[in-house]
Amino acid sequence: QQQVKQSPQSLIVQKGGISIINCAYENTAFDYFPWYQQFPGKGPALLIAIRPDVSEKKEGRFTISFNKSAKQFSLHIMDSQPGDSATYFCAASRSRSGANSKLTFGKGITLSVRP
Amino acid sequence: DVKVTQSSRYLVKRTGEKVFLECVQDMDHENMFWYRQDPGLGLRLIYFSYDVKMKEKGDIPEGYSVSREKKERFSLILESASTNQTSMYLCASSPATGGDEQYFGPGTRLTVT
């Protein structure tokens, strides 16, 4: 059972365009939803995260939109740049600490931004 | 800056060998994790530990064991390596309180021939 599902599987966007990556989850106990960014040869790094008490969070060109009733959240990258080309993972977890702090990851999506 | 280091970037082992992957973090984090990353399958949790000498199975523990004798070090052990364990292995750590962010190491690309 895949608890966190990403779509699309890959994405190609022109420079300056908007990149949108979607994620759906199944476990209603999840209360933390991060997006991780991974460049080739590097480990993933936290990009932006949201908790269900807000519907949207923006950091620079990156925005998370959260829909609790639909059990979905999405990452929007405005003014996409070639340097944004990377693999993006959504994830979810249940709790802030201890044994429940483990993340469940989606399968990842490769974003290519063309110059 | 949080730093998570892994002992090797690339490793080539033979089938049946015992393999040790080492991970060290320098931020006094309580939680440590081992994942494997495979194309099309994303990141899958093998084992995690939330305290010294404590360990819990993740989603795919079969064929692996772990050791955490010191807070900063978390080792992944392949008792008898097999070709289907060829993968990228990622270690991560996170604090017990104050947030859920996990900090990842650069990964070890293990090839079992």
d(CA B113, CA B15): 6
Domain ranges of chain A: 4-95+104-114
Q: Looking at residue B72, what is its pLDDT?
A: 96
Q: Looking at residue A56, what is its pLDDT?
A: 95
Q: Looking at residue A49, what is its pLDDT?
A: 93
Q: What are the pLDDT digits (tens) for A18-48?
A: 999 999 999 888 888 999 999 999 999 999 9
Please calculate the CA angle A15-A79-B41 and round it to the nearest 5 degrees: 75
Residues 6+ apart with CB under 8 A from A3: A25, A26, A27, A92, A104
Q: What are the pLDDT digits (tens) for A55-92?
A: 999 999 999 999 999 999 999 999 999 999 999 999 99
Give the architecture-level CATH label for domain A4-95+104-114. Sandwich (2.60)
Q: Looking at residue B96, what is its pLDDT?
A: 79
Question: Which among A108, A111, A104, A110 is positioned nearest to A2, based on CA atoms?
Answer: A104
Shortest distance between the Cα of B24 and any Cα of chain A, in A, equals: 14
Shortest distance between the Cα of B45 and any Cα of chain A, in A, equals: 8
Q: Looking at residue B90, what is its pLDDT?
A: 98
d(CA B70, CA B52): 6
Chain A residue numbers touching B106 (CB-CB < 8 A): 41-43
Contact B58 A102 (CB under 8 A): yes
Shortest distance between the Cα of B47 and any Cα of chain A, in A, equals: 10
What domains are defined for chain B?
A: 4-98 (2.60.40.10)
- pLDDT surpasses 70 at A100: no
- pLDDT surpasses 80 at A101: no
Chain B residue numbers touching A32 (CB-CB < 8 A): 100
Residues of chain B with pLDDT under 50: none
Contact in structure between A22 and A106 (CB atoms under 8 Å): no
Question: A7-11, A52-56, A98-102: lowest mean pLDDT where?
Answer: A98-102
Q: Which of A34, A49, A96 sits opposite B97 (nearest CB)?
A: A96
